[in-house]
Structure 1
Amino acid sequence: MPTAPPPQNTDELYRALQENDRRPYGRTRTVTAEELTELAEQFAEPRPLVHALLELQEAYTYGSEPRKSPVVFARLLTLFDEQPDVFDERMRHTLFWRFKWVANALLALPEIPLPSLRQWLTEMRDRYEKAGLELQPYYGQAHRLAAHVGEDTDLAFELWAGRARTRLSDCEACEICERALHHLAADDDERALRAWEPVLTGKESCQEEPARSVSHALLPLLRAGRTEEARELHLTGYRACRRNPSMSGEVGRHLEFCALTGNEARGLELLAENRNLFDDVDSPLDQLAFLTGAEVLLRRVEALGHGDLPAAGYPGRTWTVAALRAEAGQRADGLAARFDARNGTTAHADRRTARLDRAPLLDALELTLRTRGLDEVAPAAPPAARPATTTVPDTLPELILTSRELEEQGHPDATVCRARLRTLVADPGYVHPDDPAVGPLARLRADLLADDAARAGDKDEFDQASALWQEAAHLYDEAGAAGDAALARACAVLPTSEIPTGDDDGPDAKAAALTAAHQALVRLQEEASGLAPYQEARVLRLRASALGLRLQATGNDEHAAAVHAEVDLLLDFAARHDIAGQISGARLLRATTYALAGDLPAALTETDDLLERLRSHGPAWHLPRTLGLRGRLRLGQDDTQAAYTDLTEGLRLAAGWPSEAVDTARLHTDLAQTCMRLGRHDEALRHLTRSAERELRHGSRTDAFCTYGTAAQISLELGRVEDCIALLDSVLAEPDVTAGEVDDRLVAQLRLYRARALHAGEDLKAATAEFAALAAESAGWDDDPASHAMIAAETAVLLAESGEFDRAREAADQALAAHARSPRYEQVSSCLREIARLRTQRQGAEGLPGALALLADAGRVADEAREAGYEPRDRSLDSALAYEHGRVNAYAGEYETALSALEKAVVLLGGSGPDDGREGEWAECVRLASVVEGLYLERPVPALGRLDAAVSRLTALGRTEETEALTSLAAQLRDEQ
C-alpha cells in the first residue's frame, strides 16, 4: 500500500511509483497502483496521471487481470489524443508498444467477439500508419490471432516473420519463441528447437523469457532424446514462473512434464506449491492452459491407482486427486468451449484433447535429488509393507506364536507379524484366543508395547522408550510371564540412562550414567528368575552394549578391556546355547570395540571372520550391517574402492529386509561418503537423499532433515545450484516444517543453504529477501550470537550488491554487535570490506566516506583478532584490509592513497618473495599496484620495475601461470610509452 502519509506533491508521487515498481507483481502492487492513480488525478498536471496509468496497466497485465488492462489503456489513448504534448518520446513509445498488450488481453477473454479482436488490430494498424511506424508488430499480432483461432497460419507467419524488426517489435527472445511455436504446431520439433536455441542457452532473454520458451520446449527436448537438458531446464524454468499468475500456463506445462516423465509425486508437490493459481488467475486463456496441464497430471496419478491421494485445489474445500481432476476437467472443458464458440473453430478443444491423450514419454526421469513415488507422498503414510521371507500364519493363535518365535530369533519378519497383530487387536470386535499356549491378552498387549518401545529407542525417543518398556514389564507380570517382565525391565535401563538430566551431560557424566546402567543390568540378571536362554543372552548383550556406549562416549581406550570381557561372556553363553543371532551380534560388537580403540586391523580381521560365518551359518539379515561395518573400516584405512564394494553389496542384500532392521539409511550415508571420495558426486547425492527419505519414512525426521541439509550443501559446493534449490524447496514444504513443528535452528540452516543457492543462482532479489528474513529471526537467538553475526554479515553483502547501502550498513552493524558477543572475525571483516568495495565501485568518490568508515570498523576487527591470537584460515585480515583500502581509494580516484595501501598489502603478503603459498594473491596485488601507478598516476617506469621484479621472482619459483597477467600489463605499459 502507499506509504503514509500519501504523496502530497508530484515529486512524492513519482517516488511512490518508483517504490511500487520495485515490488513483485501481485495484489499488493496492483492495489497500490490503483490508489496512486486515484491520487494522481488530484493534481492539476496531466503527466503524473499518465505515469500512474502506465504503472497501473503494467500491474494489471503482469498480475493476470486482462479485463482491466484495456480499460486503463483506453484512458491513456484518450489523453494522448487530447493532449499529445504531455507524452514525451519515451511515453509515446510506451503507448504504441502497449497496443500489443491490449491485443493479447482481448485475445484472452472469450467474451470479446472475434470481430472486435480484428477491429482492434485494424485500429492498431491505422494508428501505426498515421504515426509513421513500421507494421511488423501489427503483423506479429495478426499471426498470433490466427494461431489462437486455429486458422492456417502460414501466410500470417510469412507476413510477420519476413519483415524486418522495428523499435516496437517484441524483444528478440519473445519473437524467437513465437517462431518456434509456429514450427512446433507444424509438428517440426527439430526446427522448433533450432529456433529456440538462443533463448534456451541464455543468449536472448527478457522478463518472461526464457521461462516461457522453456515450458514449451520441455516435451520436444524429450522427444529429441535430450533428457538431461530437459531436466536442467525444468528446474530453472519452473523456478522462474512458480506461483506467478501471469505465467500460470507455463506452470501447467511443467506439471504436464512431471506427469509424462514418471515424476507424478513431484507434480503433486508443485501443484500444491501453486495452489494460489486456482484462485488468482483472472485470465481465462491462462486458466485454460494451467488447468489442462494440471489435469494431465491428475489423470496420470488417478490412472496409476492413486485417485484417493489428497491434492491441492480450489480453496474452500479438501480435494482428492480424482475429485480435483473432475472439477478441473469440467472447468477447462467449459473454457475451451467458450473460446471455440467465439472463434468458430474447435482448435482449443482439439489442443486440450491432444495434451490429455499424450502417453508418458519416459518411465522415470530423475528430475530432482529428491525422487519419490506416489506411495511416499500420502500424509503420514507408513512405508509400503514388505513381503515376509517366512510364512505368516492365517490363524490368530499361530500368528501370535510365530511372532514370539521370530522375536526370540531376532528375525526381522517379527515386525510383519506384529504389524498384523496390532491391526487385529485394535479392531473393536477382537476376541482373544482361549489357548494356554498363547496366554492371556495382557501378554499380547505387552508384546506389542515392547515392539513400540524398541521402535522408539531406534528413533532416540528415550523417554518414550523407557516408559513403554516399563509398561510392558507390568503387563508381563500381570500375565505371569516373569522372564519376559525381567527382560523388559532390562531393556528399559539403557534408554533411561540416555535421558538428559539437565545437569552436566558431558562425556564424564554420560560415562557415569552408563556405568550405573551396566551395574543395574548385572543386578537385574542376578536377581531375575525364569529367564530363558535367549532372554539371558539379550541381557548379556545389553550389558556389553552399555559398556560399548561408554567407550564410544569417552574415547578412553582403557574402557575397551571391560567391553571385550562382557563380549566374551556373551559369546560363551550364546555358543553353549546355539543362539546364532547373539553370536554374530557379539562378534559385531567386538569388531566395533576394536575400531573404537583404534585397532582397525583387528577390527577388519574380526569382521572378515564374522562374514564368513554369516554366509555359512547365518543369520542372513546380519550380513548388510556387517558389510556396512567392514566398508567403514576400509574407508578408515583409505581403501576406498574396497569400501565401495562392501557397502554396495550390503545395500543390495539389505533390499530383502526391512530398512530399519538392517539400517539401510546408514548404508546409504556411508556410500555417499565413499562416492564423494571416489569423485562420484551424482551417486553420492542420490545415496544421501535416499538415506534421508528412509529416515523420514521411519520417523527420524530430525536426522532426515540434517541429511537433506548435507545433500543441499554438497550440491551447492558442486555448483548444482538448481538441484540444491529444488531439493530445499521440497523439504521446506514438508507439513511439519510449515507447521513450525521442526526445530527452528534446523529449519533456519536449511533456509540459509537455500538463500546461498539463490545468490549463487543470481536470483539476488529472492536471496536478499530470504537473508533479511533470517537476519531478523536470528537477532533473537540470544544463545547463539555467532550464527546471527554470520547471517547478518551475509545479508549485508547482498543488500550492498543490490545497491541498498543504508540497509547494508544497518545489517553490518547488527553483525558487529553480535560479533562483539561471540567473535566471527573473518566473516565480519570480509563483510565490511566487501560493502566498502561495492559502495565505491558504484558511487565513486561520493561513496568514499561511507566506505572508509566501514574499513575503519574492519580495522578494529583485525586489531581484536590479533590481540586474541586468532589465526585466520584464509589470508591475514591486515593484508586483506590493506588490499581493500587500495581498491576503495582507486575506485574513488584517490590514486596516491590507493598506491600506498597496495604497497603495504604487497609487503604483508610477502614482499621479500612469495613463498607462503599465496603467490596468486601476491601477484594480483602487484598487478593492481602497477595499474594504479603506471596507468592512473602515469608513472610507467617504476610500475614496470615493479612488474619485472615480480615476474623474475615468480619465474624463479616456477609459478609461470601467475606471471601471465603481469607480463601482459608490462607489455601494455611499454606500448603506451
Structure 2
Amino acid sequence: MPTAPQTTDELYRALQENGRRPYGRTRTVAAEELADAAEQFADPVALVRALLELQEAYTYGSEPRKSPVVFARLLTLFDEQPEVFDERLRHLLFWRFKWVAHALRQLPEVPLASLRQWSAEMRDRYEKAGLALQPYYGQAYQLAAHVGEDTALAYELWAGRARTRLSDCEACEICERARYHLAAGDDARALRVWEPVLAGKESCQEEPARSVSYALLPLLRTDDPERARELHLAGYRACRRNPAMAGEVGRHLEFCALTGNEARGLELLAENRTLFDEVDSPLDQFDFLTGVQVLLQRVEQLGHGELPAAGWAGRTWTVAGLRAEAGRRADDLAARFDARNGTTAHAERRRARLERAPLLEALELTLRTRSLDDVTPATPAPAPASRTAAALPESLPELIAHARRLEVEGHPEGRLVWARVRTLVTARDYVHPDDDGVGPLVLLRADLLADDADRAGQQDEFAEAAALHEEAAALYEDAGAAGHAALSRACALLARAELPPAPDTEENGDGDGVAAKAAALGDAHAGMVRLHEQAPALAPYLEARLLRLRATVLGLRLQTTRQEEHVAPVLAEVDLLHAFAVRHDIASQISGAALLRAGTHALTGDLPAAVTELDALQERLQAHGPAWHLPRALGLRGRLRLGMRDAQAAHADLTEALRVAADWPAHAMDTGRLHADLAEACLHLGRPEEALRHLSRAAQVQLRHGSRIEALCTYSNAAQLSLDLGRVEDSIALLDSLLAEPDVAAGQLDARLTAQLRLTRARALHTGEDLKAATAEFVALAAESAGWDDDPGSHAMIAAETAVLLAESGEFGRAREAAGQALAAHARAPRYEQLSNCLRELARLQAKQQGADGLADALGFLEDAARIAEEAGAAGYAAGGRPLDVALAYEHGRVHAYAGTYEEALAALEKGLALLGEAGAGGEHAGEWAECVRLAGAVEGIYLERPAPALARLDAAVTRLRAAGHDEEAEPLAALAAELREKD
C-alpha cells in the first residue's frame, strides 16, 4: 500500500480495492496494513470493516492460526458496542463463527476440548441472539466427521433441520451431504446428491472446485470416466496454486496417478510447487502431501524414481526422495491429528489412499498425452528397433558394409544401422578392424559425419549441417573417396543456401529477402554444376544423388520466387535426373525425379498435371518400388487434392499414406506432416473432432523428432480448434501445459509464438467466463504488443479485445485507454472491421451498464467507429460481415434505446434500414435487416407506446421475409407483433 489512508472514505476505497485482489500474501499484507490504519480513526465501523477484511484474507489465504485471533477482536467489539453492528455486520459476525470452527479443526495443537468449547460458545451465542441452530449442528457434524466418531446422529441432527440465513451455502451443504454418503461407501448416492454442484447449478467461493476434487474417483468407480476427465480439467484450474485449496490439488494429483496420467501429475505438481512452502494449514498440508505421495509412489513403482520432481524450495528433489520426505511429514501430521482427536481416523484415511490401486490403465486427460518416458531426460540410447534390427550382422565389418549398402539404396533404415555403428565406434575400447572392405578409420568417420549432417539438415539446423558436410568432405578426401567428397560439398552448398537471409536484406523488405534467397540458391546450383564437372568418374548412385541435389536446389528457388522463368530450369534438371536414373536402373532416383516433377507442376498451379504424375508414380512404386517412397507420394497427392478441393480423395490418400508409413522408421516418413494434412482434410469434411485428434498426434510426432517450434505451432492450432468446438477446458489445459514448458516459461522461445499461445488462452478464459483472468492476460499482452513496431496490426487487435474485456468488467476508463492504443496502432496498420466491432461493442456495453449516464461516452465510441467506417469506404474496404455503416446505424439505435432516448433510437434504426434498402429482406443481409426491424418495432411499439405504426412495420416485414423464403428470420418479428397485439 503506497500511503496509509488519511480518511475513512480513503480507507473504504482501499478496502474495496483490496477485495478485488486474489487471495494470497499480497492481499493479506494489504489487509493487515489497512487494519492498522483503521485504528487511527475514531470510527468503530471502519475498524470492524477492516477486521472483517483481514479475517477473510487469513481464511482464504490458508492462515488458520490468525483467523480466530482477529475474530476474537470482532467479538469483543460486538460485546462492548453492539450498536456499531448494523444488520449486515451482525450477519457477517454470526456467519463467521463457522469460519473459526473450521480454522480450529485445522490446527492439531488446539485441544479437542477447546474445539468442543468453541462449539458450545457458538450454540450459546446463537440461542442468545434468537437464531436457529442448524448452522451449529452443521459444525457439530463436521467436527464428528473430522475426529472420526460415529457421524450418523450428528448428520441427522444437522441434515434434518431446515436451512437458515446463516446456514452454509447450498453448494457447500451439498458437498458435506455427498461426502457423508461417500464415506459410507455409496458412490452412486453421493454423485446423485452432488449433481446440482457438478452441473454448475449451485456454486460459491470454493464450489464446485471442492466437490469436483472429491467426485473424481467415485465417477471412475461408477464407470463415467469422460465426466471425470471433463471435471478434472475445469476443477483443477479453479484450485491450482491456491494455498487455501491445497487439499483439492492433492486429490487431482491422486486422480492423475490412478488413471495412467503420472506424467501429467508431475507437470501439475511442478505448477503447484509453491504450495509446499505457502500452505499454513496443517490439515490442508496433510491432504496435499498425501495426494503428492500417492502420485510419487506410483511413479516410483513404475521404475522412474530418479526423475526430477518439484518439492520444497532450497533443494533438488527426485521422485523417490520427495516421496520419502512427503511421506514422513504426512505421517507426522496424521499422528498429531489422531493424538489430538483420540482416534486413528487420519492414519486410516491416509492408508486407504496410499493403498488404492489404479482405477484405469489409461485415461486421455488432455490433448497433450505424455508418458513418463516422454518426461525422462534424454540419455544416449541404442539404435531404435526396426524391421531389420533383428537381422543386423553381428560382426563390425559386416555391419558397416550393410550400412553402406542401405546408403546406396537410399533405404530409410540406413540411419538406424549407422546409429548402431556409431555406438560401437565411440566406445572406449573400439579397435578399428583391419579389413579392406571396411577401409580406413578416416573413411568411417566421414560416413558418420555425413549421417550427422543429414540429420541436422532435416532439423533445419542448416549452419551445423553445412559445417558437418564440409568436415565430412575433408575426411573423404583424406580417405581417397573423391566422389563422396564432391557429394558432401554439394550438400554443404544446399545447406548454406537454405540459411535465412541476412538481417539487412530482411529489413529492406520482403522483395529484397526473396531476391537474396533466390540468388543464394542459384549460386548453390552453379557451384553444384562445377563440382559435377570437376569430379572424377562417379559411381552411378553418387552421380544420381548429385543430379537430384541440382534439381532440388532449383526447385527451392522456384518455390521461393514463383517466377515463370525459373520453371524450365527445374524441369530440365529433373529430366536429366530421370534419364540418368532410368539408364542405370536406380529405382529410388526414378521416383525422386517423379516427385520433383510433380512438385514443380504444383508450384506452377497445374495441380491436375501434378496428380497425374503421382498417379503414374504410385503404380510404379507398387510394381517396382522402392516401397518406402509410397507414403511420401501418397502424402503429396493428398495435399494436392486438398488444393483441388477434393477433401474426400485427400482424406483417402493421407489415411493410406499413414497406414503404409507404419511399416518404416518414423523419422523417415514425416508422419507429423501426414497427420497435420489429414487434420485439414477432416476439417473440410466437417469432422472437427477427428481433425483435433490428428493435430494432437502431429504435434506429438514433431516433438519426438525434435521439431519443437513446429510442434508448438501445431499444438496452438489444436488449442484454437478445441476452443472453436466448445471444448474450453481442453484448450486451456493444453495451453497451460505448453506455457509451463521450461524454455517457454523462461522466455527462450520465439516471443511471437509465446504471445499467440497466451492470446489463445486469454480468449479461452473469456469464453469460459473467467473474466478476471482473461482480462489480466489481455492487459499484459496489450502492454507487450505495444512494442511490436514491425506488427502494429496485431497490437491493434489485441488492444481492441482488451478494451472490450475491460468494459465488460465495468472499467470504462481503462477501456477507453486501451481503445486509444488500438486506434493509434490502426492508423499505422488498418484493421477496419476489428476496430469498428470493438468500438461498437464498447458503446453497447457502456450504454447497457450505465444507461443515460453512459450515453455521452458511448456516443464518443460510436463517433470513432464512424471515422473508421469513413476510412474504410475511402479505402474501398468491404467488411466480411455487415457493412460498417449499417452496423453503426443499428448500434446507434441500440445505444439510444439503452439510454432511454427512444426517438433518437428509432431514427437511427430507420437510417440502418434505409442503408440496407428494400433488397435487404431478400438478400444476403436478411438477418441484419430483420433484427433492425425487430428493434425498431420494439422501440416504437413498447417504449414510445405507438403500437399501430409498429405493428404495420412488423407485419409488412414478416410478409416480405416469408415471401422471400426467410421464415426463420420472420419468427421473432411475428412473435413481437403478437405480443404488441396482446398488450393492445
1:369 pairs with 2:367: yes
1:245 Cα offset (Å)? 0.7
Selected match of 1:110 from 108, 111, 117: 108
Aligned to 1:120: 118
1:713 Cα offset (Å)? 1.4
1:426 Cα offset (Å)? 4.6
Aligned to 2:264: 266
1:764 Cα offset (Å)? 0.3
Aligned to 2:224: 226
Name the CA shift for 1:556/1:169 in 2 (closer, same or farther; >3 Å). same
1:803 Cα offset (Å)? 0.4
Q: How do 1:940-959 and structure 2 match up within 5 A? A: 940-959=947-966
How far apart in 2 are the matches of 1:116 and 1:864? 74
Q: How do 1:684-723 and structure 2 match up within 5 A? A: 684-723=691-730
1:593-632: CA deviation from partner (whole Å, max 9, x where unpaired): 3333444444334333433443444333223222222332
Is the partner of 2:924 in helix, strand or coil?
A: coil
1:380 Cα offset (Å)? 4.9
How far apart in 1 are the matches of 2:610 and 2:876? 41
How far apart in 1 are the matches of 2:21 and 2:498? 52
Name the CA shift for 1:385/1:851 in 2 (closer, same or farther; >3 Å). farther
- Paired AA for residue 933 in structure 2: V
Aligned to 2:508: none
1:761-791: CA deviation from partner (whole Å, max 9, x where unpaired): 1000000000000000001111111111110
Is the partner of 2:631 in helix, strand or coil?
A: helix
1:387-410: CA deviation from partner (whole Å, max 9, x where unpaired): 032234444444433333322222
How far apart in 1 are the matches of 2:273 and 2:385? 37
Residues 383, 698 of structure 1: 8 Å contact kept: no
1:694 Cα offset (Å)? 2.0
Deviates more, 1:585-594 or 1:240-249: 585-594
Is the partner of 1:367 in helix, strand or coil?
A: coil
How far apart in 2 are the matches of 1:635 and 1:782? 36
Aligned to 2:144: 146
1:379 Cα offset (Å)? 4.0
1:435 Cα offset (Å)? 4.1
Aligned to 1:552: 559
Structure 2 residue runs of 5 or longer lacking an equivalent are: 506-510
How far apart in 2 are the matches of 1:538 and 1:346? 76
Selected match of 1:352 from 329, 347, 350: 350
- Paired AA for residue 930 in structure 1: G
Deviates more, 1:403-412 or 1:330-339: 403-412
How far apart in 2 are the matches of 1:252 and 1:429? 50
Structure 1 length-normalised TM: 0.97
1:943-965: CA deviation from partner (whole Å, max 9, x where unpaired): 11111111121111011111111
1:266 Cα offset (Å)? 1.0
How far apart in 2 are the matches of 1:893 and 1:635? 53
Residues 179, 190 of structure 2: 8 Å contact kept: yes
Aligned to 2:976: 969
1:425 Cα offset (Å)? 4.7
Deviates more, 1:403-412 or 1:727-736: 403-412
Name the CA shift for 1:303/1:568 in 2 (closer, same or farther; >3 Å). same
Deviates more, 1:463-472 or 1:274-283: 463-472
- Paired AA for residue 455 in structure 2: R
- Paired AA for residue 246 in structure 1: A
- Paired AA for residue 32 in structure 2: E
Residues 129, 135 of structure 1: 8 Å contact kept: yes
Aligned to 1:277: 275
Selected match of 2:98 from 96, 100, 111: 100
Name the CA shift for 1:381/1:97 in 2 (closer, same or farther; >3 Å). farther
Residues 382, 423 of structure 2: 8 Å contact kept: no
How far apart in 2 are the matches of 1:364 and 1:676? 28
1:751 Cα offset (Å)? 0.7
How far apart in 2 are the matches of 1:816 and 1:95? 50
Q: How do 1:97-246 and structure 2 match up within 5 A? A: 97-246=95-244
1:682 Cα offset (Å)? 2.0
1:513 Cα offset (Å)? 3.4
- Paired AA for residue 161 in structure 1: A
Name the CA shift for 1:381/1:713 in 2 (closer, same or farther; >3 Å). farther
1:18 Cα offset (Å)? 0.5
- Paired AA for residue 712 in structure 1: A
RMSD after superposition: 1.9
1:681-700: CA deviation from partner (whole Å, max 9, x where unpaired): 22211211221122223222
How far apart in 1 are the matches of 2:156 and 2:374? 51
1:122-156: CA deviation from partner (whole Å, max 9, x where unpaired): 11111111111111111111111111111111111
Name the CA shift for 1:384/1:673 in 2 (closer, same or farther; >3 Å). farther
Residues 482, 530 of structure 1: 8 Å contact kept: no
Deviates more, 1:934-943 or 1:444-453: 444-453
Residues 220, 359 of structure 2: 8 Å contact kept: yes
- Paired AA for residue 411 in structure 2: H
How far apart in 1 are the matches of 2:794 and 2:464? 32
1:933 Cα offset (Å)? 1.4
How far apart in 2 are the matches of 1:120 and 1:430? 78
1:577 Cα offset (Å)? 3.1
Is the partner of 2:331 in helix, strand or coil?
A: helix
1:383 Cα offset (Å)? 9.2
Selected match of 1:937 from 935, 944, 949: 944
Residues 659, 665 of structure 1: 8 Å contact kept: no
Name the CA shift for 1:145/1:385 in 2 (closer, same or farther; >3 Å). farther
How far apart in 2 are the matches of 1:498 and 1:45? 75
How far apart in 1 are the matches of 2:120 and 2:714? 61
Selected match of 2:686 from 669, 679, 684: 679
Deviates more, 1:525-534 or 1:282-291: 525-534
Is the partner of 1:439 in helix, strand or coil?
A: coil
1:30 pairs with 2:37: no
1:791 pairs with 2:798: yes
How far apart in 2 are the matches of 1:381 and 1:111? 48
How far apart in 2 are the matches of 1:530 and 1:883? 79
Selected match of 1:724 from 714, 726, 731: 731
Is the partner of 2:921 in helix, strand or coil?
A: coil
Residues 679, 694 of structure 2: 8 Å contact kept: yes
Aligned to 2:456: 456
1:178-201: CA deviation from partner (whole Å, max 9, x where unpaired): 111011111101100100111111
Is the partner of 1:110 in helix, strand or coil?
A: coil
Aligned residues: 975
1:784-831: CA deviation from partner (whole Å, max 9, x where unpaired): 111111100000000000000000000001111111111111111211
Selected match of 1:903 from 910, 913, 918: 910
1:676 Cα offset (Å)? 1.6
Aligned to 1:45: 43
Residues 456, 462 of structure 2: 8 Å contact kept: yes
Deviates more, 1:282-291 or 1:387-396: 387-396
1:441-472: CA deviation from partner (whole Å, max 9, x where unpaired): 43333323222221222122222222221122
How far apart in 2 are the matches of 1:543 and 1:20? 68
- Paired AA for residue 684 in structure 1: A
How far apart in 2 are the matches of 1:338 and 1:434? 73
1:857-895: CA deviation from partner (whole Å, max 9, x where unpaired): 111111111111211111111111111111111111111
Aligned to 1:389: 387
Using the aligned pairs only, state the percent identity.
74
Name the CA shift for 1:417/1:447 in 2 (closer, same or farther; >3 Å). same
1:638-661: CA deviation from partner (whole Å, max 9, x where unpaired): 443343233223223323433221
Is the partner of 1:23 in helix, strand or coil?
A: coil
1:804 pairs with 2:811: yes
How far apart in 2 are the matches of 1:444 and 1:672? 42
Structure 1 residue runs of 5 or longer lacking an equivalent are: none
1:382 Cα offset (Å)? 7.9
Residues 501, 517 of structure 2: 8 Å contact kept: no
Q: How do 1:496-645 and structure 2 match up within 5 A? A: 496-502=496-502, 503=505, 504-556=511-563, 559-645=566-652
How far apart in 2 are the matches of 1:525 and 1:240? 65
Deviates more, 1:460-469 or 1:730-739: 460-469
Aligned to 2:480: 480
Aligned to 1:322: 320
How far apart in 2 are the matches of 1:612 and 1:420? 34
Name the CA shift for 1:283/1:953 in 2 (closer, same or farther; >3 Å). same
Is the partner of 1:699 in helix, strand or coil?
A: coil
Residues 400, 421 of structure 1: 8 Å contact kept: yes
